[in-house]
Amino acid sequence: MMKSLKFILTALLFAQTAILSAQENMEGYLFAYFEGRGPGEKQEQIRFAVSDDAVNWKALNNNQPVMSSAEISATGGVRDPHILRGGKNDGFYMVATDMYTVKNGWETNPGIVLLHSDDLINWDSSIINLEKTYPKSFKNTKWVWAPQTFYDTKKGKYLVYFTVRSYDNLKLDFYAAYANNDFTGFESTPKLLYSAKDGAIDGDIIYKDGLYHLFYKGNTKDENGKEVQNGIKQATSKKLLGPYTESFEYLDAYAEDPTVVEGSSVFKLNETDEYFLMYDLYSNGRYEFQHSTDLFEFTKETESFTKDFFPRHGSVISITKTEAKRLENQWGGVPQSLLTEADGTYKFRSNGNPIITHKFTADPAALVENDTLWLFTGHDYEGGQKGYKMKDWLVFSTTDMQNWTEHPVPMQITDFPWATSGDAYAGHLAKRNGKYYWYISTNWNGIGVAVADKPQGPYKDVLGKPLLTNEDCFASSHAWTCIDPAIFIDKDDQPWIFWGNGVCYYAKLKDNMIEIDGEIKKIDFEGFEFTEAPWVHERNGTYYLTYATGFPEKIAYAMADRVDGPYEYKGILNEVAGNSNTNHQSPIEFKNDWYFIYHNGSIQTDGGSYSRSVCIDKLEYNADGTIKRVQMTTEGVSIPD
């Protein structure tokens, strides 16, 4: 009884989810395909990709199959997946060719695979062997290819259509049958749907303005039956089951070219009257598309998709943000724009180091408030850079070090009109008098201050000019010395600022946090080889100065009984952070444990010294107060339950 109740509740939940999804706007696209590269035995599997604009695509699940062909097919392989959103808010439908050419070759395939899902994640499957199921009508069947599904609104049923070729008749014709109620088979024997003059494969029916458009790969033969041309054609009908009128005009841009195409699929773009006709250039390893608004006239020039996979014959449906998030939670890879909430926040889960993989982040600074850790970072714009390209800053938050929220961009270098360098370099944030002050560096224009009413911003330049410039760095001569500010508020509620490159400077701040109070001084002690990135924190009455040393940079540290020293050098805290010349640390206590936040260049293949990524590992102390070497890990950290 309990199992039955659980099943009913689950079914109701899925049904409700499907209805809610149908009421949402369609804001993205899901591409179902099989792969055209890599080991042959792994290609004939269903894979998914997602896009926010139908042009730029990202493979889900690292381009690995989303289900096992061995479990859903008779042959062990599937090709040509066609996906359809249910016409009755009844989930999603998918059909595919049951064929494993790597193992069995091209000589024959028995039939097709039918699949249904309530959520795009879990799929029920059935197999139809056409010859065994309908031996009278389909005896000696050679091929059953490229099935697709169309929802017949008049009958409230799903029509499944596909190409058939027999050993007795080598002509390729389209057959169709309505699926039964549970989408596990056909209501009756499939009937001839359409017979093109010279045969056809890869049919795709689109309904528009009272007309059914059947797109397919057709060909032209001479009087001797020799093929002289092939490409994408269409036939039209006022009725779903025909008769269809064949058009002998080719639609694809390659019909007059030796380049061959197949697997055409037409889909409508969200919120527009535009359609894409996409097809597989299977001998060239490309996938391209043309545009149309009426399904008769298509653009003459082709365009290519941007993708991180090599699709073969597939199909596309529109999806909602709710569905995109579900796909992300299951397989990952969904573009961030489809996961962003209405308020501009984006929730993601860290799977170790680096903690952020959808953007390049650097120069971390952390602030703890109540049960939340706020992480402020720089932003390396692109992967594989040859120099620093940083134009804004980012802010993230977490309560457990695993589940994170990225907030809208809080501040850009253009928010500081005086920063003509255009460089959004390292910063540090402090809370004071109910306000949040973000101190930023700008390469050679100096250190500025921005203020906000909440940690996620937005922030506003509070001075309209630098707080500190190279003129304040009395012991330095190079242009980029006034960088890397770090704020520390001591037990007497006195705020301090530390900064510098090559020389480490410090000074008191006034209570208003936007003026220097008194003399600017520099730190120096035996063994102090300072490069940049100073940071002061306190534990059990001891003050720790951590900083980058050498180049490539390691992080070293020193200890003192006072915030302004004198400091005693204690050694290296962590080594060169893999694949990055720079290092920048933020030691922080959070929920009774200490953590070491830093950056490296470990995202491959685009990471590096100018495309960095923030990481977090444990920070541990010895009994005498000294710090143990930081062990950089790929596993990262999490807060225990």
Q: What is the mean pLDDT of each run of 10 residues along the chain (641 residues)?
A: 40 44 84 95 97 98 97 98 97 98 94 98 98 95 98 98 94 98 98 97 98 97 92 98 97 94 97 97 94 97 95 98 95 94 93 94 98 98 93 98 96 98 98 97 98 98 98 97 98 97 98 98 98 98 98 98 98 93 97 97 92 98 98 87 58
Identify which of 486, 477, 447, 475 has the alpha carbon closest to the alpha carbon of residue 463. Answer: 447
Task: Give CA torsion, residues 468, 474, 480, 483, to 10 deg.
Answer: -40
CA distances for 442 relative to 55, 319, 392, 460, 465, angstroms: 36, 42, 11, 15, 12
Distance, CA of 46 to CA of 575 (rounded, Å): 43
**Within 13 Å of residue 396, how many CA atoms lie on the same side as its CB?**
29
Q: What is the pLDDT of residues 278-303, one digit of tens each?
A: 999 998 889 999 999 999 999 999 99
Radius of gyration for the alpha carbons in the chain, expressed in angstroms and rounded: 31
Amino acid found at 424: A
Report how far Cα 120 is from the mean position of its chain's Cα atoms: 17
Query: What local confidence, expressed as pLDDT, does residue 83 receive?
Result: 98
Q: Which residues contact 124 (CB under 8 A, 6 or more apart)?
A: 115, 116, 117
Query: Quick one: tokens of 220?
Result: 């032209």
pTM of the predicted structure, to 2 decimals: 0.82
**Within 13 Å of residue 53, how many CA atoms lie on the same side as its CB?**
7
DSSP string for 362-418: EEEEEEEETTEEEEEEEEE-STT-SS----EEEEEEESSSSEEEEPPP-EEGGG-TT
Task: Cite the beta strand spans of 472-591 per DSSP E.
Answer: 486-489, 495-499, 504-509, 516-523, 532-539, 542-549, 554-560, 568-574, 586-590
Alpha helix (H) residue ranges in 436-508: none
Q: What share of the chain is helix, strand, coil (3-state, %, to 5)?
A: 10, 45, 45
Burial class (CB in 10 A: 0-12, 13-18, 19+), 317: buried
Task: Give CA torsion, residues 451, 454, 456, 457, to 10 deg.
Answer: -40
Query: What local confidence, expressed as pLDDT, does residue 18 receive?
Result: 45
Burial class (CB in 10 A: 0-12, 13-18, 19+), 594: middle
Peptide bond connecting 243 to the previous residue in cis, omega within 30 degrees of 0: yes
Edge to edge, the sheet with strand 92-98 lists 78-85, 92-98, 111-117, 123-129
